[in-house]
Amino acid sequence: MAARDFDALPRMPANHVPLTPTLFTERSAAAFPDRVAVIHGAQRFTWREHRDRCVRLASALARRGIGRGDTVAVLLPNTPAMVECHTGVPMSGAVLGAINTRLDAETIAYILDHGEAKLVIVDRELAPLLGAALALCTVRPPVIEVDDPEAPFPHTLGGEDYEALLASGDADFAWPLPADEWDAIALNYTSGTTGRPKGVVYHHRGAHLSAIGDILACQMAGPPTYLWTLPMFHCNGWCFPWVVAALSGTHVCLRAVRGPAMWEAIAAHRVTHMCGAPIVLATLLDMPGRPALAAPLRFMVAGAPPPEAVLAKAAEAGVQVVHIYGLTECYGPAVVNEWKPEDDALDGPARAALMARQGQRYVTLEALDVFGPGDTPVPADGTTMGEVVMRGNMVAKGYLKDLPATAKAFSGGWFRTGDLGVKHPDGSMQVRDRAKDIIISGGENISSIEVEDALYRHPAVAVAAVIAVPDDKWGEVPCAFVELRPDADATEAELLDFVRGRLARFKVPKRVVFGEVPKTSTGKLQKAKLREAARG
Amino acid sequence: MAARDFDALPRMPANHVPLTPTLFTERSAAAFPDRVAVIHGAQRFTWREHRDRCVRLASALARRGIGRGDTVAVLLPNTPAMVECHTGVPMSGAVLGAINTRLDAETIAYILDHGEAKLVIVDRELAPLLGAALALCTVRPPVIEVDDPEAPFPHTLGGEDYEALLASGDADFAWPLPADEWDAIALNYTSGTTGRPKGVVYHHRGAHLSAIGDILACQMAGPPTYLWTLPMFHCNGWCFPWVVAALSGTHVCLRAVRGPAMWEAIAAHRVTHMCGAPIVLATLLDMPGRPALAAPLRFMVAGAPPPEAVLAKAAEAGVQVVHIYGLTECYGPAVVNEWKPEDDALDGPARAALMARQGQRYVTLEALDVFGPGDTPVPADGTTMGEVVMRGNMVAKGYLKDLPATAKAFSGGWFRTGDLGVKHPDGSMQVRDRAKDIIISGGENISSIEVEDALYRHPAVAVAAVIAVPDDKWGEVPCAFVELRPDADATEAELLDFVRGRLARFKVPKRVVFGEVPKTSTGKLQKAKLREAARG
């Protein structure tokens, strides 16, 4: 029997190696030792130097007894140390826990305790925040301080200097490959809008394949010059630390995302790729007197669909926009709006409507669907809503120390995203709402995103957020929170009149509240806070 | 302990799916149903149609009881049926055995028997060859005949028509994913220059990752239009059937590789990518009166380094050349000459010398080295020779029904290529010779490739092959076989005088024999035949 003979050839060290993104850096250092890997202010590290710093970090951690399954927490902006931690920490076998630097001390304390941090690496600007968190938590991790010359207001907790830690490590350290590609590589906490944040565990295989998926989805060929505007503490920067390593490109670090600093970096280093929420793209394009692009620039946008006005400005500026979609549980983006060249001929509104779709699964996400009741796929009619579900190698291991939540979210062979969407006749998926954001009014579902889209079409509207508020008659009704553009003006009546022409009557908000809408660090609208405000 | 908690999250159907290139085609059909997937003469298949034909094929095979671990042998030129077999056969769980159509009937009979072919799919032009093979072998597989409208001289063995087979299948067949990504996907026989050919077994994981590796190495972004000049029976066309599927590109089929037909296809379909031996690139560039390129064309060359004259012509024609290297045992190419933009400034000979290096491991090959005695890596001095060794996920399962040969070639955690090479100070690898082609003269190693390179620099030399011949005094001495260019002339004395200025004295051939040099179907020089001739 041939089948038996085929099966008689087992995995061997020569032909089966755990997939891991750590080897990307080794390869880049071997192939392009003198190419610049990391730029930060006046600092430059070649791939050889960067690789040596990563391996020294791994070696220093190992010498301190930190290894497989230990969490190394980091509280860092987008600096060279943060890039190094993405390869150096996993090279030691440990798990990188990159913490959102905009969280409060109490939440950070919870995360340090929950992940059992064995060591914390902190930027000195953030030392006071870490100090406050350490005062609240149970674990007592040693602190390593990064003394970034670009950091404003550096403080110290008296911890060891990061450079001294690296100097104590050995660049010839024979760092261990993961015993199994299913081993944890990173721990990323969800925003925890409802209850405590959950610790999403990434593995080496998924991190490798997600980086590959990003490269294919964003049609990246050759070495990119990548500007770090997306925080690396969000889903490990959507895996782009590993994307840049796989392509032997150049990281351009940036501590703070502001228009002039972005344009300065773009011009100085001929930046080719960036990632971020639509708000970051808008900030980039809205800068008065911005220079012309010297090289083609591709911007990967996620978190919300890019509005028509932003797309128009991007086209005018020569910025290519790729709309991608994902969640913490799938290593950041795992779905891409596969743009067809023939759709370039569409007019602005039609382009924006098409670009608003989330699109198709990544090559490295093996299945994507939208399920109605009883896990039946919804028809591809562009209107029937269901829950977006995913299956594949870009879906995380699960939630740390929360097997019930893992079992629930990963049940029946699918990861349940909690996002509600539709399938269009062309096969693309579009998110209509988060399950918890949907408004149920008189038994009808209202997509908050659809109402927001209608508001966004008004030229005076800069930001729109629509939530459900209780209503005695209808159960729930939509309520809109609107930020107007700096030089624009509009009344509630004007806006309501405007959207009445564009929405079914029951979808028109009952009220418009003007003022600043609270946002997360990635520019996501914080509807939970609006709901609190509406309750008060 | 956090480590235990990380490990408590097991693989589940939602987050662990076997890697397999078959899903690439499903994705392309979902994302780009109406894009043309396959072009052949007047035929066109969209991705939806192509996907349906693949699934029908899988379904028809399953209905005949063919599945996991069964070999489906094919004897096909580069036609739509051949592309379909690369996805449809593995979708059934079976193993694709693509047989070199230029082999003799006896060898084909051996391959059919050794692989226990359960079914054979043959192009009608090749029916007589298959008929002769079937008369010699023990297995009695049913024959399916592809009636290609582009085929010259069609014959029949009375087998079922391929289109009838597809019609008997179901496009809604729920084809099974491989139970394990280590399951066999393809069976490719080595050329067997010494003894019987060996059956190299590929697995789903390796085929997936090799396709990804090709995409990264060849810097492919967006959908390619790929012209099939490399036979798909060579290492599954270096995995490019799966590359094109992963990128949702377009296959342009071609039965016979001739200059005018290639240029016609390039112009008609705006071809962007091709693969082949240097001889194919030379054929392309040497066509008198060839048209100008309408779109950028990238040519991936392997099998031998591209000669300087060919590189010069390619540059002049606007063809970008990528030099890659591999063997049947690593899914075709697994090493790439990573060209640095700054090296474009070099003059012709320096460029060709640098381009002749095989280069760096693919991102998806986890390790590449050159070993001297005792498996010690040779120094990176560009001169110390050793055996090229590889480790990683692009190394095949092993040799079918030959565990001793598998154990020998895959020993000590490395695949032993049998190629001799050096490492340069910049970290790149260069093959100096096949182990069996090295000439040992007076105790000194002579690289046959180095002597050939010196001969190639003479303007009259079209092809040069250097082998060892026995010598009473020196043990072995080099002997050169030379094909002159059509309109050129040179004497033995002239050539020897020419190379004396370029080689150490002991490396200069003792004799030059003029005449046609025998080549394999990929343009590789058949030195075994020259050795036979030299013995006679």
Please count the residue pairs, one from chain A and one from chain B, whose beta carbons lie less than 8 angstroms apart: 183
Distance CA B61, CA B160 (A): 13
Residue A148 is encoded by which pair of tokens? Answer: 């970034």
Tell me the β-bridge partners of B331. none
Name the average pLDDT for chain B.
93
Tell me the β-bridge partners of B300. B275, B322
H-helix or E-strand spanning residue A388: strand A386-391
**Model pLDDT, residue B90:** 98
pLDDT at A160 over 70: yes
Tell me the β-bridge partners of B10. none
Residues of B in contact with A247 (CB under 8 A): 216
**Model pLDDT, residue A120:** 98
Distance CA A495, CA A451 (A): 12
Which residues are CB-neighbours of A261 under 8 A, at least 6 positions away?
Answer: A254
Residue B237 is encoded by which pair of tokens? Answer: 């066309």
Q: Residue B392 — pLDDT band, cuts 50, 70, 90?
A: very high
Instruction: Please name the residues between 311 and 370 in chain B that touch chain A, using a CB distance below 8 Å.
Output: 338, 340, 359-361, 363, 366-367
**Model pLDDT, residue B504:** 82
Cβ neighbours around B383 below 10 Å, total: 10
| Residue B395 to residues B179, B238, B391, Cα–Cα distance (Å) | 20, 13, 7
What's the average model confidence in pLDDT over A13-42? 97
Question: Among A405-419, B185-199, B216-230, B239-253, whose mean pLDDT is lowest?
Answer: B185-199
For B353-370, write each residue's pLDDT tens digit: 999 999 999 999 999 999
Question: Among A343-352, A522-531, B297-306, whose mean pLDDT is lowest?
Answer: A522-531
- Percent above pLDDT 70 for chain B: 98
**Model pLDDT, residue B64:** 97
pLDDT at A194 over 70: no
Question: Among A230-234, A277-281, A452-456, B304-308, whose mean pLDDT is lowest?
Answer: B304-308
SS3 state of residue B205: helix
Chain B: closest CA distance from residue A43 (Å) = 22
For A199-238, write each residue's pLDDT tens digit: 999 999 999 999 999 999 999 999 999 999 999 999 999 9
Distance CA A323, CA A441 (A): 31
Widest pairwise Cα distance in chain A: 79
**Model pLDDT, residue B534:** 82
Helices (H) and strands (E) in chain A, counts: 18, 26
ipTM entry: 0.90
Parse chain B into domains and list their residue ranges. Answer: 31-423, 438-535
Higher pLDDT, A66 or B536: A66
Chain A: closest CA distance from residue B168 (Å) = 25
**Model pLDDT, residue B67:** 97
| Closest chain A CA to residue B401 | A5
For A237-290, write each residue's pLDDT tens digit: 999 999 999 999 999 999 988 889 999 999 999 999 999 988 889 889 988 888
pLDDT at B202 over 90: yes
**For chain B, how big is the Rg over CA atoms in Å?**
24
Higher pLDDT, A463 or B142: B142
- Predicted model pTM: 0.91
Distance CA B295, CA B226 (A): 12
pLDDT at A193 over 60: no
Residue A441 is encoded by which pair of tokens? Answer: 């009014």
H-helix or E-strand spanning residue A205: helix A204-217
Instruction: Please name the residues between 200 and 229 in chain B that touch chain A, using a CB distance below 8 Å.
Output: 201, 206, 212, 215-216, 219-222
SS3 state of residue B269: helix
Which residue blocks in B8-118 are alpha helix, DSSP H?
22-31, 47-63, 80-91, 105-114
Which top CATH class is A438-535? alpha beta
pLDDT at B486 over 90: no
Residue A49 is encoded by which pair of tokens? Answer: 């130097």
pLDDT at B399 over 90: yes
Question: Among A281-290, A489-498, B3-12, B198-207, whose mean pLDDT is lowest?
Answer: A281-290
Handedness of CA A98, A101, A105, A106 (dihedral sign): negative
Question: Among A178-182, A216-220, B190-194, whose mean pLDDT is lowest?
Answer: B190-194
pLDDT at B522 over 60: no
**Model pLDDT, residue B195:** 67
Residues of A in contact with B71 (CB under 8 A): 2
For B257-290, write each residue's pLDDT tens digit: 888 999 999 999 999 999 998 888 988 998 888 8
Is A27 in contact with B363 (Cβ distance < 8 A)?
yes
Please choose, from the candidates A529, A518, A530, the residue with its C-alpha nearest in 3D space to the C-alpha of residue A279: A518
Please choose, from the candidates B529, B507, B510, B509, the residue with its C-alpha nearest in 3D space to the C-alpha of residue B518: B529
pLDDT at B469 over 70: yes
Which residues are CB-neighbours of A246 under 8 A, at least 6 positions away?
Answer: A21, A24, A211, A212, A215, B216, B363
Q: Residue A195 — pLDDT band, cuts 50, 70, 90?
A: low
Residues of B in contact with A8 (CB under 8 A): 403
User: Contact at 8 Å (CB) between B298 and B339?
Assistant: no
Distance CA A90, CA A177 (A): 9
Instruction: Please name the residues between 381 and 420 in chain A that touch chain B, using a CB distance below 8 Å.
Output: 390-393, 395-401, 403, 406, 410-415
Instruction: Please tell me if residue A8 touches chain B, with a CB cutoff of 8 Å.
Output: yes
Say if domain B31-423 classifies as CATH 3.40.50.12780. yes
For A414-439, write each residue's pLDDT tens digit: 999 999 999 999 999 999 887 778 88
Is A201 in contact with B427 (Cβ distance < 8 A)?
no
pLDDT at A7 over 60: yes
Considering the segment(s) A25-34+45-205 as one domain, its CATH architecture is 3-Layer(aba) Sandwich (3.40)
For A82-96, write each residue's pLDDT tens digit: 999 999 999 999 999
**For chain A, how big is the Rg over CA atoms in Å?**
24
Q: Residue B521 — pLDDT band, cuts 50, 70, 90?
A: low
Q: Which long-range contacts (CB under 8 A, 24 or more apart) does A162-167 make?
A: A162/A81, A162/A121, A165/A57, A165/A60, A166/A53, A166/A56, A166/A57, A166/A60, A167/A56
pLDDT at A192 over 60: no
Distance CA B4, CA A527 (A): 36
**Model pLDDT, residue B193:** 53
Which residue blocks in B389-515 are alpha helix, DSSP H?
403-409, 448-456, 492-500
DSSP states of B395-430 as a string? S-SEETT-HHHHHHHTGGGSEEEEEEEEE-TTS-EE
- Percent above pLDDT 70 for chain A: 98
**Do B31-423 and B438-535 show the same overall fold?**
no
Is A406 in contact with B9 (Cβ distance < 8 A)?
yes
| Residue B5 to residues A205, A399, B10, B498, Cα–Cα distance (Å) | 18, 10, 10, 71
What's the average model confidence in pLDDT over B316-336? 96
